[in-house]
């Protein structure tokens, strides 16, 4: 019998490793099975997984279909996927820097939060479908408009998360730092900043996940490239297989980027009790 606090045995480690593989795989199999059942029940509006994979394989690198319709010179889905990924990552990076920077600056300067809290609360509650057309009208249908929109909403989210993370810092840490003679600047850099990182990582994951939808919406409303642009095109010609394939491709890109980001984030939270990201 394993005693609490003892190091895990080889069998325990093996079982945990199997569970980490089997459980996600079972969830994926259940999703694919449900997809097949829906396709069998309604084959007209729900393409099968096999049809989606064939469409992806036949159009990812080069696409005679897109070339025949004068789209992207037949370069394939990768060309538009790269455009969407670049816009998302650039917008999230800019928004994260601005949101976290403003949120943490408001800690030593409370007047900043007094001024910005009502504004960010208002913008955060505004539906994206209402705000997105204004960004496209003001900045046009160029890629910078989509990047600005993603960056703006990422800024709002990261500001809110940074403020919440700072408010959740334990008073014990602050009192301990003060008892050792730390001044305000040292408390900020040595206590507030490290203590907020785990919660900021969780906020970053939410912002990154939402950014893919924001970018797709912006491209749907008006763009010359991107996954959303192709989805909009396929919707006009009732290309359900192409629409679902591109949606699947966008989801895969989101999962890969999230995994890469979390792999890098683990080095920032090794000092915590669990060493795990949110």
Nearest alpha carbon to residue 193 among 98, 107, 97, 96 = 107
Region of 163 on the Ramachandran plot (φ > 0 left; ψ -120 to 50 alpha; else beta): alpha
**Model-level pTM?**
0.83
CA–CA dist 121, 163 (Å, integer): 12
CA–CA dist 162, 184 (Å, integer): 18
Over the chain (278 residues), what is each successive 10-residue block's mean pLDDT?
A: 55 67 78 87 87 93 87 87 95 94 83 82 71 76 84 91 82 72 72 81 91 89 88 90 94 92 77 53
120-145 burial: b if 16+ Cβ within 10 Å, else e: beeeeeeeeeeebeebbeeeebebeb
Alpha-helix residue ranges (DSSP H) falling in the chain? 10-41, 49-59, 64-68, 77-105, 110-125, 128-139, 143-167, 171-179, 184-187, 193-221, 227-236, 240-265
Residue 69: CA count within 13 A, CB half-sphere: 10
Nearest alpha carbon to residue 81 among 58, 48, 59 = 59
CA–CA dist 133, 182 (Å, integer): 49
- Mean residue pLDDT of the chain comes to 82
Task: Count helices and strands (H / E) in the chain.
Answer: 12, 0
Cβ atoms of 213 and 87 within 8 Å: the answer is: no
> What angle is formed at CA 252 by the lines to CA 64 and CA 209, rounded to 5 degrees?
125
The residue count for the chain: 278
Res 144: pLDDT: 82
Cβ atoms of 188 and 127 within 8 Å: the answer is: no
Res 128: pLDDT: 67
Res 248: pLDDT: 92
Q: Which CATH superfamily is domain 51-268 in?
A: MetI-like (1.10.3720.10)
Would you state the torsion angle of the CA atoms of residues 71, 77, 81, 82, taken in this order, to the nearest 10 degrees?
A: -80
Res 278: pLDDT: 54
């Amino acid at each position: 019998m394993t005693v609490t606090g003892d190091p895990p045995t080889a069998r325990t480690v093996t079982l945990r490793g199997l569970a980490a593989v089997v459980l996600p795989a079972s969830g994926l199999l259940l999703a694919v099975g449900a997809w097949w059942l829906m396709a069998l029940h309604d084959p007209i509006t729900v393409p099968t997984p096999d049809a989606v994979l064939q469409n992806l394989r036949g159009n990812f690198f080069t696409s005679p279909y897109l070339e025949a319709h004068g789209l992207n010179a037949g370069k394939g889905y990768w060309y538009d996927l790269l455009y969407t990924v670049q816009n998302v990552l650039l917008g999230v990076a800019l928004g994260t820097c601005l949101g976290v920077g403003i949120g943490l600056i408001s800690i030593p300067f409370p007047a900043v939060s007094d001024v910005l809290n009502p504004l960010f609360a208002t913008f955060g509650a505004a539906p994206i479908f209402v705000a997105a057309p204004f960004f496209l009208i003001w900045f046009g249908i160029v890629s910078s408009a989509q990047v600005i929109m993603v960056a703006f909403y990422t800024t709002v989210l990261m500001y809110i998360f940074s403020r919440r993370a700072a408010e959740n810092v334990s008073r014990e840490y602050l009192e301990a730092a003060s008892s050792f003679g730390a001044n305000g600047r040292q408390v900020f850099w040595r206590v507030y900043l490290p203590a907020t990182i785990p919660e900021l990582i969780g906020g970053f994951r939410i912002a990154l996940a939402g950014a893919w939808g924001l970018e797709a919406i912006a491209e749907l409303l008006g763009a010359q490239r991107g996954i959303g642009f192709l989805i909009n095109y396929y919707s006009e010609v009732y290309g359900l297989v192409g629409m679902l394939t591109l949606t699947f491709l966008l989801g895969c890109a989101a999962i890969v980027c999230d995994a890469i980001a979390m792999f890098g984030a683990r080095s920032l939270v090794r000092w915590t009790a669990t060493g795990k990201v949110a």
